[in-house]
Chain A
Amino acid sequence: MLLFRYILRRLVLLVPVLIGMSIIVFGIIHFIPGDPARAILGERASETALEKLREDLGLNEPLFLQYVHFMGNILQGNLGESMRTKAPIAQEILPYLAATFELTLAAMAFAVFFGIHLGIWAAWKQNSWFDLALMMAALIGVSIPIFWLGIMEQYLFAEKLGWFPSGARFNHREPITAITNFYILDTILAGNWRGLGDVLRHLVLPAFALGTIPLSIIARMTRSTVLEALKSDYIRTARAKGLNDFVILYRHALKNAFIPILTVIGLQTGSLLGGAVLTETIFGWPGVGRYLFDAINNRDYTVIQSGILVIAAFFVLINLLVDLLYAFYDPRIRYS
């Protein structure tokens, strides 16, 4: 019951956050210089055509009215139409969202798996050469620019060694039928194992580039929290009882050290969602970052507005999910 009330309270708190976000998004994009009507119709458009388009798009209305219409539509689940392609955004954005989720999840799976294991290992072997090397690597990992890493990966693993493709989600010579737009799922549903291998291969380089920073952060966080735990009495007790190393580390130490790690995972997942733009550009990944980037170039106001709002909403939702997980994991959090 308490958990339920906690969830409800958190959900209600979302409303003002989302409204505030919508106002900021709406305000910012209306100050981008340049006339959207001219950007859409091109250099040769006549003044009458421009005027007609402004009229059609409601650009002549007062800002306040434009905002009211915008919110009215959003509340009905209508994200509007792209000014450029005339397609409904809610429908158009789905494949892009799927692409970004697939990449983000792969990057996080990679970061969490390696981050936690390496972190534990480093803690266990504290001050060994392994620990030192790993902490050095993690320091480099957090400070390395994603675009540089991505380009280096492409150069080394795609161009020189030819192990992995330099970009895209699948091999365009053997296209994949999109069902859910999550290609891992789609190939499994279709029983296309060769296609699955292909999709996984295409995920490796971008997921590595995107996952490097969270991996380093998770590894460092895991190391320090596990170190903390290893110093505590209950671990000493566990050791005294003669439990083996694996049980001590993974059952006892990690369990208690997990909350801060969970925070990092949550925050990083959220920021990856929005921050995948660079990775998506470098690896020709048709994700939501690319969708927004193109929209900004084309001054596609409606897409920019709704797209940013969708991403922001996901960011908030993921944070909410993490908070709920804490509460679930450690009931003490609910009461404070």
Chain B
Amino acid sequence: MSSGLPSVTTVLGAEDVQRALTRIAHEVVERSRGAADVVLLGVPTRGVPLAHRLAERLASIDPAFDPTAALGELDVTMYRDDLRRNPTRAVGVTRLPAVGIDDKIVVLVDDVLFSGRTIRAALDAISDLGRPRAVRLAALVDRGHRELPIRPDFVGKNLPTSTSERVLVRLAEIDGEPDAVLISGRDPKGDAR
């Protein structure tokens, strides 16, 4: 910090991530009065392994929850509103659980909630796929700076940041290193604006 160069700060370690997910799982069960009607949809890339981990925890809390049958992934590339501003993105996989999403409580799972535009796209995608009873949002990190009236229902950690900072989530499944949430480019004084 004293060097004045942009630095990388670890905000959550592996155990913090595990605890946050366990808490979110309990909140999901409590909010939905059991997990029988819950369907988890991970938003690629890092939302997918997070959804897998949440599913395992839900199954251990509520035996009525089948982690293989109620788990899917939702690629939102084709619903984004910024396609024309960026180079072409590769389209990812959308895989719905076998039970479908009609009349279910869909919990969208993503790693970082920022502008809210990804979730806006996900809501559009969901409405093309079926009609869930409710859609909820679980994010490991909420870093603020919303550009749309969207808020998460379940948050691992609220992380006040400045727009110039970058929040990086590292997960063992994808990055091959211990779970961590990092902030890079933090102001040398250490205070977020």
Partners in one complex: no
Residues of B whose CB lies within 8 Å of any CB of A are: none
Residues of A whose CB lies within 8 Å of any CB of B are: none
